[in-house]
């Protein structure tokens, strides 16, 4: 038959998934599928993809996805997802404290898709409850949050729990193969490069009559740095994570700038331009913007001493030999969930907590550098308690939403660098 390993795995999984209807048509009962009980926290737009992809991943593994809980701060959001995916409304939980009931459920797997400000709080409770967790990126909005994720990740490892980050490029075959080739010297030592996410503002929710400050922040979270970490973290962290991955280390410092002139909601910047210094003379230009009508470029480019590479695409350099990489789906959004489920069930759980916390911290470092105009070291966020950035928070705590203590920051008023103020003083 001469099938490669990965083609055999993929073909076998597809055949297993197709076997049920065929056996039924022949009058033969197919074996009952084992269930993978899962809960979702956060029923916004991203959950559409993750619910669908989890179901597909289970099917490819011969499992049946059973959604035992859907949680969100708002009843309309959670009912919408329940009705769309034919999940009984009795599984729905609403309220800012709904994550606590998920922790008490019989879910084996939990997907954290609520706004990033809630990620450390939600992850901590799920790990304490013994759940395997997939958390979307970024995983925090400030340095204390990043450090907390790392600590929780260590606890998860001791408990044998699988922790997946929503960085699907690390599970996409083109990126994985290029990463392996770079490790084997295909482009030599990386000298520099560019990582980019240049697009438009994904969406805006206008404030409605009767909404509290907490409601407006939570529903329009994408456009507030307190909730999202600004788009350098919420979107561009994907590309930053690839730089960390391919270079095999975190940058040591950042300088940069950004600004706002076009946005119509919240307090995020329109663009960031940040130089990430990885040491040894290696500098990566991190650029991202959300402005309609501008050139869209999303991806990564790195030049080495012996070649170059376009993210998960074309690689020009030396021919090197790498082990064949097995996969079941070319879509990294599905493959990462396959890897998560397999690792949890195999007793060899994946744990991506530190790598995504580090990449999120790099995005936070870039944001601080642009907001303040200062030279910021990675150690200022992660190692040096005397640094002004070490304990700097966004000024709102995730628990404030449960306590009813949220006060809306001034809208359309942003950080101004160069006046000696910290990022929470806006002019």
- Reply yes or no on domain 183-325+352-403 having CATH 3.40.190.10: no
Summarize the confidence of residues 29-53 as an average pLDDT.
Answer: 88
- Residue pointed to by tokens 């609403």: 94
| pTM score of the predicted model | 0.92
Confidence of residue 30 (pLDDT cuts 50, 70, 90): very low
H-assigned helices in 261-411: 332-346, 353-372, 378-382, 400-403
Q: Do 379 and 175 form a contact (C-beta atoms < 8 A)? A: no
Q: What is the mean pLDDT of the chain?
A: 92
The two domains 5-169 and 183-325+352-403 share their CATH topology (first three levels equal): no
Confidence of residue 12 (pLDDT cuts 50, 70, 90): very low
Summarize the confidence of residues 5-18 as an average pLDDT.
Answer: 39
What percent of the chain has pLDDT above 70?
90
The pLDDT of residue 418 is 86
320-367 pLDDT per residue, tens: 999 999 999 999 999 999 999 999 999 999 999 999 999 999 999 999
What percent of the chain has pLDDT above 90?
89
The pLDDT of residue 359 is 98
Summarize the confidence of residues 30-57 as an average pLDDT.
Answer: 91
H-assigned helices in 160-192: 173-183
Confidence of residue 33 (pLDDT cuts 50, 70, 90): confident
Distance CA 249, CA 47 (A): 31
225-274 pLDDT per residue, tens: 999 999 999 999 999 999 999 999 999 999 999 999 999 999 999 999 99
Distance CA 424, CA 371 (A): 9
Residue 403 confidence (pLDDT) above 70? yes
The pLDDT of residue 32 is 62
The residue ranges of every structural domain in the chain are: 5-169, 183-325+352-403
State how far Cα 35 lies from the chain centre. Answer: 26
Confidence of residue 420 (pLDDT cuts 50, 70, 90): low
The pLDDT of residue 167 is 98
143-162 pLDDT per residue, tens: 999 999 999 999 999 999 99
Distance CA 31, CA 28 (A): 10
For residue 115, which of 212, 201, 219 has the smallest C-alpha distance? 219
Q: Hey, is 63 helix, strand or coil?
A: strand
The pLDDT of residue 16 is 38
115-154 pLDDT per residue, tens: 999 999 999 999 999 999 999 999 999 999 999 999 999 9
62-101 pLDDT per residue, tens: 999 999 999 999 999 999 999 999 999 999 999 999 999 9
H-assigned helices in 288-377: 332-346, 353-372
Q: Do 418 and 373 form a contact (C-beta atoms < 8 A)? A: yes
Confidence of residue 24 (pLDDT cuts 50, 70, 90): very low
Residue 6 confidence (pLDDT) above 60? no
**Which CATH topology does 5-169 take?**
Rossmann fold (3.40.50)
For residue 257, which of 381, 398, 415 has the smallest C-alpha distance? 415
The pLDDT of residue 189 is 98
Summarize the confidence of residues 371-389 as an average pLDDT.
Answer: 97
């Amino acid at each position: 038959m001469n099938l490669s390993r990965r083609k055999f795995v993929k073909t076998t999984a597809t055949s297993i998934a197709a076997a049920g209807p065929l056996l039924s048509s022949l009058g033969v009962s197919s074996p009952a599928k084992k269930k993978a009980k899962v809960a979702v926290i956060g029923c916004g737009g991203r959950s559409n993809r993750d619910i669908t992809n989890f179901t597909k991943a289970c099917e490819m593994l011969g499992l049946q996805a059973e959604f035992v809980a859907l949680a969100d701060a708002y009843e309309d959001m959670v009912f919408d997802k329940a009705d769309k995916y034919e999940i009984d409304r009795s599984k729905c939980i609403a309220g800012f404290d709904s994550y606590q009931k998920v922790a008490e459920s019989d879910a084996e797997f939990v997907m954290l898709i609520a706004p990033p400000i809630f990620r450390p709080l939600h992850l901590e409770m799920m790990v304490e409850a013994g759940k395997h967790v997939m958390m979307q990126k970024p995983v925090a909005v400030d340095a204390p949050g990043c450090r907390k994720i790392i600590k929780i990740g260590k606890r998860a490892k001791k408990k044998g729990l699988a922790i997946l980050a929503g960085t699907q490029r690390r599970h996409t075959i083109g990126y994985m193969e290029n990463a392996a080739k770079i490790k084997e010297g295909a482009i030599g030592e990386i000298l520099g490069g560019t990582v980019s996410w240049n697009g438009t503002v994904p969406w805006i929710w206008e404030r409605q009559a009767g909404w509290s400050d907490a409601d407006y922040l939570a529903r329009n979270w994408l456009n507030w740095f307190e909730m999202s970490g600004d788009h350098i973290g919420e979107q561009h962290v994907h590309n930053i994570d690839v730089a960390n991955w391919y270079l095999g280390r975190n940058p040591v410092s950042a300088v940069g700038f950004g600004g706002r002139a076009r946005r119509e909601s919240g307090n995020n910047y329109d663009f960031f331009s940040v130089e990430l210094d990885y040491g040894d003379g290696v500098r990566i230009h991190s650029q991202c913007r959300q402005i309609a009508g501008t050139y869209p470029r999303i991806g990564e480019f790195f030049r080495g001493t012996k070649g170059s590479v376009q993210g998960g695409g074309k690689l020009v350099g030396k021919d090197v030999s790498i082990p064949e990489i097995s996969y079941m789906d070319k879509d990294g959004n599905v493959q990462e969930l396959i890897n998560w489920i397999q690792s949890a069930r195999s007793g060899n759980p994946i744990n991506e907590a530190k790598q995504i916390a580090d990449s999120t911290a790099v995005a936070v470092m870039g944001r601080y550098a642009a907001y303040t105009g200062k030279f910021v070291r990675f150690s200022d966020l992660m190692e040096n308690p005397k640094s002004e950035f070490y304990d700097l928070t966004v000024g709102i705590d995730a628990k404030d939403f449960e306590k009813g203590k949220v006060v809306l920051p001034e809208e359309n008023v942003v950080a101004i660098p160069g006046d000696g103020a910290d990022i929470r003083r806006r002019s």
